[in-house]
Structure 1
Amino acid sequence: MRSSIHLTAREQRITWQLLEILHSSLDLHEVLRGAYGALCQLLPADHGALCVSLPGDPTAYDWAVADLPPELFAGYAALAPHDFVRSAVIAQPNVVLRDSEMLPRGAIERSLMYRRSRELGMRLEQAMAVLLAVEPGWHGGITLYRDRQRPFSDRDRALMQQLAPSIAAATRSCRRFGDSVRRGDALEAALRREGMEVLVVAPPAALLSRSAGAEALLERWFAPVERSASALPMPLADALAAAAAAPASCTQAAPWVRRTSDGELRVVFVPFVERGRKLWVLELREGTAVAAAPAVWRERLTERQVEVAERVLRGWDNALIAEDLACTPATVKKHLQRIYDALGVPSRTALMVHAAQRG
């Protein structure tokens, strides 16, 4: 992540976990709940809320995270005009604000919102929030509260400001996909991503829908004996079964890759929950035979480490990398650990995110 503030090793680890969570699913609630957990490790808070406005009514909210007394929400319609946090962030969208930048301290303590929270046994002494103006007509929001008079620091504000665009982008992707599923064309949002085809699959391997160019792509990369009109090609079905069986702690399955001398097909498996039904979105992307490492990596890695990193970016596992570089999987594993240490990333997924963010 590009950052103008120095992150400790712990902060760097949690930040990469947060980025992995944001890329791990297209289910809005799952993503925002995971993001909130990571945020509270980086920016300790006693309470918080993450939400998006509801379609057709920007004053009503879908609370993905509501770590606040339920009684506060029961009467929120009457409190909303007196919510100094909400009023402040609406006036300055996409800007992280602390309570000291919202109202003078005396005005906060006289506000109905502050007094009501104290009646409910919750002391909203400090706050930090941002309104994410994701797209015209709707928005998201992040608010963190502290019960004690321990202000959020300048550094806290700067860190949240730098994380906000990534959270907004993930929120946008989830919301677009969810809206299109509800309209019956689950691929509409995903198809806007240039150069990618998409399959929507119901486990174990039933094809529910596909993008316009997906069938031609499948014909190019899979032999007739591997394909079925209503089901995934067998190699992808096997890879999906492995992804579905992975432990819950795995935020994203490793990409499946098929390569030829001319190029490769890379398939990413993304879980999606629609009205309680577990589906999978398969993102298929064709690429050239070589994936180049970002230039800045070459300043930090040895030539051999660059070769390993480039093959990781192509989605290869350790055994395939070892075969291609004529070494052992154990040697590849050692190279990978040195790569992670040199670049300050904790995992394969984080390495891919790191490369994508550097173009």
Structure 2
Amino acid sequence: MGKARKFLSHEQALVAELKEALGNARTLEDVYEALSRALLSLCEADHLAVGCANPDGTAGVQWKTDTVHPLLKDYAEWVQEDFVFRATVAQPNLVLSDVQMLRGQPLVETETFRRSQGAGLKLKRVLASLLFTEQDLKGGVAMYRESSRPFTLRAQWFLQQIIPYISRAVARLQELYAVRFERDLLKAIAMGANPVLVLNSLGRKVADTGPAIPLLEQWFAPHELSDGVPRAWAERVRALSRFDVAVDPRLESLTLERGADRLDVTFSPSAVSWGGRNLWQVRMHERVHWLRPDWKEKLTAQESRVADCLHEGLANKEISSRLGCSVETVKVHIKSLFEKTGIHSRGEFVAKGRRG
């Protein structure tokens, strides 16, 4: 950026004020207001946008702007086509001008220019930087001008000098938002007693109640899980999150069976969303067989059916009718049950045989 520069006296006062405001910022709006007071007039910019990375771990940035919202509201859909993103992600924490980003490509041939025209903005100049710490995206800042006159090198230099302060501010915001987000999310999923997973629209785990992961490890083999989430469930959530096709309502629930045990699962949008995108609550209700596993494994299939009848309190004649066998056969099965479990009466069998 040319020869070494220093802050002018009025700039020093402005930077001191800006550092204090950024240090006290607790919302993205606070950061935006602080930067807009300092940057728009000093750098002669028409528009400003400040972003903070999503705290739920999903890709993308939520933006605060008073004037370029029409351009950025669907940004996630075309971000890979934006020449500003492509250039700044390759050189993080470095303020780049549109000339440096375009590298000779005509602005009018870019998707960014086309969309700005469609949004009624007619953006022609930009200074921007994506903010990273230890390879993690924290946020971004961009200034736009509708005039053909380029941003000055001093404006670019000035923004570069305050990038560290902006980066720290949005990194702190991300941490604050993550705490609030997790608190709200856990409050929402704590409404019921059953285990819950919360997945984002890509099927990745955002949160879970304590019993959820151990339960899934009982029902699925390790190769069927990714970060504790069944791969098939992640695919189901991705299907449910699609907007371009009609969603089959049958995807919203499923039942798994393993012997006499069942796991009922429902998929529903969470009461908490992030960045305008749905999160999905995956609620699980395990219905296990009433009989303790160590007894059940000793019994034949027919003896298990007789055991279920005893659990319901049925008499021998009722058991005979239900199972389609003679009363004498029922008696033989009951005797075998008692011998295998060391029990001497129906009541004792039911009382001691219940799963703990």
TM-score, normalised with respect to structure 1: 0.46
TM-score, normalised with respect to structure 2: 0.46
Q: Point out the structure with max Rg over C-alpha.
A: 2
